[in-house]
Structures are given as C-alpha cells and as structure tokens.
Amino acid sequence: MNLIASIREDVRCVFERDPAAESRAMVLLCYPGLHALWAHRIDHWLWCRNLKLPARLLSQFARFWTGIEIHPGARIGRRVFIDHGMGVVIGETAIVGDDVTLYQGVTLGGTGKGTGKRHPTLRNGVFVGNNANILGNIVIGENSRVGAGSVVVRDVPPDSTVVGVPAHIVYQSGKRVLITDPHDVSDPLSDVIIALADEVKRLKTRLERLDGEFQQARQEPANTLTVEAEERALYRTEQASRADSVSMGEGI
C-alpha cells in the first residue's frame, strides 16, 4: 500500500471509531495518535535498515510532540487507532495487529531485563481501555477487550473481556464467566481468600453437625415418654391376664 492510500485508510479509521471527528482537516491536524503512528512508520523503516540512532532520535521527537512513545522496533499493523494517546508506551518487541484500539495511558511493556521477545502481542481487533498495563511476552487474542486500569500478566483467549489487578476473564464469547475457584483470580491476596473459604466451609460443617445434635436432643424426651407409656400398657395387659390379679376396688 502506498503512502497516500495508507494515510486515507488511517483517516477513515478515525471517522469509524471516534464520533468527535468532524472533518478531515481536524483529523489530520489535531489527532496525535495519527501523528505518532506516521512517525513510527518512518522510525521502523530506519530501524529495520540498522539506522538505529536516527530511528531513536526521530521517535524521541515524536514522543515530545505527541506524548506517545513507540519504540522503533515495535511492529504495528494497519488501521490502529490511538485515541487521545497521552502516556501510551509501546515497547521494542511489542506486536500490534490490525484494527486495534488503544486509549490514553496504555502500556505494552516488559517485566524485567530479559532478552528476546519480552513485550506483548495484540492480535487483530483488540480493544485496550485507558491506563491498562499489558506486561511481558503474552498474547491478547483476537477481538478481546482489556478493561480500563487492568494489569494483564498472562495470555487472554480470543473474544474475551478481562478486568482487574491482575486481570481475569469476566466475559468469553459473549457469555458471563463466573469465578467459583479463588485460584482463578490469581490475586496477591488469593491465599487469604482461599484460607477464609476453607474456614467458612469448616465452620459450616461444624454448625450442621451441632444443629443435628440439637434437634436429636429435642426429640429424646418425647421418645422417652412414648417408651414409658408402651411399657405401662404392656404391664397392665400382662397383669390382667393373670388369674390371681385383682382390679382396684374388687373384693371390697
């Protein structure tokens, strides 16, 4: 695709995703996300030809101008839309697919000083909310959504929605995902949650046992009276059948 066709595609992408876009002139002049992406294409071209210092210098200029930092080594697809964009950071080995949307403050970063592929891969159609952090060599599947402020540290399946710190799946393929196992949350406090769940289960079992004993204790007096009445009736029957037995008042 030539330069003019690419610019037209980028402008059309803005009109499709941002209702605030009112004219082509406004989009061309007032959208720093577009400016950052156009500068990155030049940076990346220089980077791939081992002109790394000019590439980094140009990327620093683009960062100063737009507030968006994209490393020249990052690979970015077509029709990517960075809305507002201030504070967006895309690392060196990050891969961003086609039709991806990023909002302000998004970080596609690493988790340490490792070498090789150390930044995320975003497949086609991914949506990332503002101030979300996607960290490490993980993959966000096609058409997935990352909620604002989330911290994603493990792979996300396609067609999923993740939220939280750390992020966990709440929707997948359009269906609500209910978490029944605290291990699925992977929260730093998950061990505490698991311990509390085990304690509640233990107390519930104990309460059910004590309740059963209490109900049994309440029924025991009635059972005792019934046994006594049956014994009295049996005794009277035995006495009446004896020839020498005398009823009350007889023989007087």
Distance CA 248, CA 210 (A): 49
166 prior amide bond cis, ω within 30: yes
Give per-residue pLDDT as tens, 83-127: 988 999 999 999 999 999 999 999 999 887 778 899 999 999 999
Q: Does 8 have pLDDT greater than 60? A: yes
Tell me the pLDDT tens digit for each residue of 35-91.
Answer: 999 999 999 999 999 999 999 999 999 999 999 999 999 999 999 999 988 999 999
Q: Is 44 in contact with 50 (CB distance < 8 Å)?
A: no
Q: Give the mean pLDDT of the chain.
A: 85
Q: Angle CA(114)–CA(117)–CA(118) in degrees, nearest 5?
A: 50
Question: Which residue is it, tokens 């939220």?
Answer: 163
What per-residue confidence (pLDDT) applies to 4? 82
Q: How far apart are the C-alpha atoms of 81 and 64, rounded to whole Å?
A: 19
Residue-level pLDDT at 251: 46
Per DSSP, what are the bridge partners of residue 18? none
Q: Residue 76 has which token pair? A: 């970015």
- As a whole number of angstroms, the distance between CA 23 and CA 25 comes to 5
Contact (Cβ atoms closer than 8 angstroms) between residue 99 and residue 82? no
d(CA 39, CA 173): 36
For residues 85 and 104, give the distance between their C-alpha atoms in angstroms, rounded to a whole number: 4
pLDDT of residue 61: 94
Instruction: Indicate the angle between helix axes 3-17 and 32-48, nearest 10 degrees.
Output: 140
pLDDT of residue 181: 63
CA torsion 52-53-56-60 (nearest 10°) is -170
Give the CA dihedral 121, 123, 126, 128, nearest 10 degrees. 0
Residue partners of 84: CB distance under 8 A and separation at least 6: 32, 33, 103, 104, 130
Query: Across the beta sheet with 121-122, what order do the strands follow?
Result: 75-76, 95-96, 121-122, 139-140
Which DSSP state fits 156?
B
Of residues 113 and 136, more confidence is placed in 136
